[in-house]
Chain A
Amino acid sequence: MDKHRFMKAVLPYLLVFPAMFGIAVFVIYPVLYLGYLSFYKYNLMNPAKSKFVGLENYAAIFARDDFYKSLFNTAVYTFGTVVLTLAISLAIAVWLKRSTKLNAFVQAGIFTPHIVSIVSISLVWLWMMEPNLGFLNFALKSLGLPTSQWLQSSDTALLSVIIVSVWQGIGYYVLIIVAALQGISPSIYEAASLDNASNWKVFYKITLPMISPQLFFILIIMTIGSFKVFDTVRMMTNGGPNNATNTIVYYIYQNRTTNIGYASATGMVLMAIIGILTFVYFRMLAKKVHYQ
């Protein structure tokens, strides 16, 4: 009996132990280690020769233009991606919300890029956006529109990266918004139509508030996800031309071997930004979002 009792008390801890062990070793410890590294001038060849430099790395970050450039690019990228994705996927979702065969088929098609590796997506779009031979400029020219240098000009490179990210992500968000739209009870719309409300008013006063939890969810995961943007940049532009697409994670990546302490400090800054965004969003969530 005593043994039984003991087992009962210990069992839950045994059950969660492996998972907690993984988190401790591969998340919590690395974060502490990252903080530690950020105070050092780290010597990769001979770690014993690493030197404690206090806040020097942090001071260097906030004194360097290239950091601000990457922060600015990341913010522009995030803003562009979030706004475009939300607007376009909301429009498409409203258009495809009725559950018909055709709509389900189109939704599945739009979703395809989301499950394909960013490596493939990037290579395909590099080819599509090739200024001389690519299909995109051919299509623009055929329509009598001006062509673009896309990824190869510092004026349009960041926008091109945004376009690719939006293109890849939309399918997922359309699915979520469609599911949310289908979850709205038809009786609410019937009541509105009895009141002779205009379509726009119905959308603004009923549809939007009813799906705001899902829109909010999308806003959070997209903003945080966009701040981590790296793959498309590494594949398509390597941060160029002329640092026009250098983002925070790419910046960390560039410094990861030559200046580990500095890269670690930048990693801490990234973590702080993600933490603040998450916190702000959850505060807003508690206050504003409509729940049924």
Chain B
Amino acid sequence: MTQVFPIARRVLEYVLKLCLLMVFIFPFLWMISTSLQTFRETLAYPPTLVPAVPQFVNYLTALEAGPFGTYFKNSIIITLSIIVMQMVVLIPAAYGFAKYSFRGSGFLFSLVLLAFMIPGQVTFIPVYLMMADWGIGRTLLPQIIPFMTNAFGIFLLRQYFKQVPEELIEAARLDNASELKILWKLMLPMSKPALATIALFSFVSHWNDYFWPLVMTDSAAVRPLTIGIAMLRETEGISNWHVIMAGNVILVLPILLVYIFCSKQIVKAFVYSGIK
């Protein structure tokens, strides 16, 4: 069979694999299609696959349903602040754990692993009360500072730093290079893939985060985009799927664009994180 119809077999393989792909892509296509339909079209049976006239007005309706400028700004501020702060904290920590032996390092590193194990779903009640106590409950800080230590990042970067040969560092020290210079000029350039992975992870997970902002925020002024979009269902009514899907496209688009242009790096980063 396989020798007689090699081409037929290949075609079949292509078709089946593309069908598999569609299982994962189709819901997004349908989201985009719905976001461009009229209310009437969303009610039609059989379902409308391609809208007669694209209704871009749905996007305006969605954006007018809430302070989306604020939501968008908040999402950007929160995500960028977290990434910058995490880098400042985790780079020296990873260096310390990778290249120094000091009393208590084992214990401290096990605390890092412990922090990795304890999720926000456990700590959110006390953290919420702490933030209120400190008088910063109504700012963006409760969505930023609890993430200052990225345990996964420390772990990953430490592995990278460990691979930098000790001789190189010793040679630099003999040349009277300061520790800061060694870190900046020697360690970091050799760890670019790890830094990119960590930043990418932080971006994706905090841009997409829903749980933490949901339990930390009480007012629109500090809410990020995910919460705003999720609330469309309440403000627009449960059956206005065309408007809800338009809001949804607005939320997904930045991530999807990033993914389409650097899917290779993103896929690599995720695979790496899972194996090491």
Contact = CB atoms under 8 A, between A and B. Distances in A.
Contacts of A115: 204, 208, 255, 259, 266
Interface stretch (B50-58, B126-134, B190-198): B126-134
Nearest to A26: B146
Given A19-B149, A26-B127, A28-B111, A127 B245 contact: yes
B140 to A, nearest CB: 16
Interface in B188-241: 204, 207-211, 214-215, 226, 229-230, 233, 241
A274 B119 contact: yes
B-side interface mostly: helix
Given A15-B95, A31-B123, A108 B252 contact: no
Contact of B24 (A133, A171, A275): A171
A179 B207 contact: no
Nearest to A270: B122
Scoring B112, B121, B154 by chain A CB atoms within 10 A of each residue's CB, the highest score goes to B121
Given A12-B100, A133-B45, A214-B275, A106 B17 contact: yes
Contacts of B204: 115
B251 A127 contact: no
Interface in A115-135: 115-120, 123-125, 127-128, 130, 133, 135
B92 A18 contact: yes
A120 B215 contact: no
A-side interface mostly: helix
Interface in B148-201: 148-149, 151, 154, 179
A146 interface: no
Nearest to B249: A120
A230 B211 contact: yes
Given A119-B210, A123-B245, 4 more contacts: A18-B149, A109-B25, A112-B256, A123-B31
Interface of B: 14, 17-18, 20-21, 23-25, 27-28, 30-31, 34, 42-43, 45-47, 88-90, 92-93, 95-97, 100, 102, 105, 108, 111-112, 114-115, 117-119, 121-130, 145-149, 151, 154, 179, 204, 207-211, 214-215, 226, 229-230, 233, 241, 244-245, 248, 251-252, 255-256, 259, 263-264, 266-267, 270-271, 274-275
Interface of A: 9, 11-16, 18-23, 26-31, 33-34, 37, 92, 95-96, 102-103, 105-120, 123-125, 127-128, 130, 133, 135, 138, 142, 167, 170-172, 175-176, 179-180, 214, 217-218, 224, 228, 230-231, 234-235, 249, 252-253, 256, 260, 263-264, 267, 270-271, 274-275, 278
24 contacts: A9-B102, A16-B97, A16-B105, A19-B112, A23-B114, A23-B149, A26-B145, A26-B148, A96-B17, A106-B21, A109-B25, A117-B251, A118-B210, A119-B210, A120-B251, A120-B252, A127-B30, A133-B43, A133-B47, A172-B274, A176-B271, A176-B274, A180-B275, A256-B125
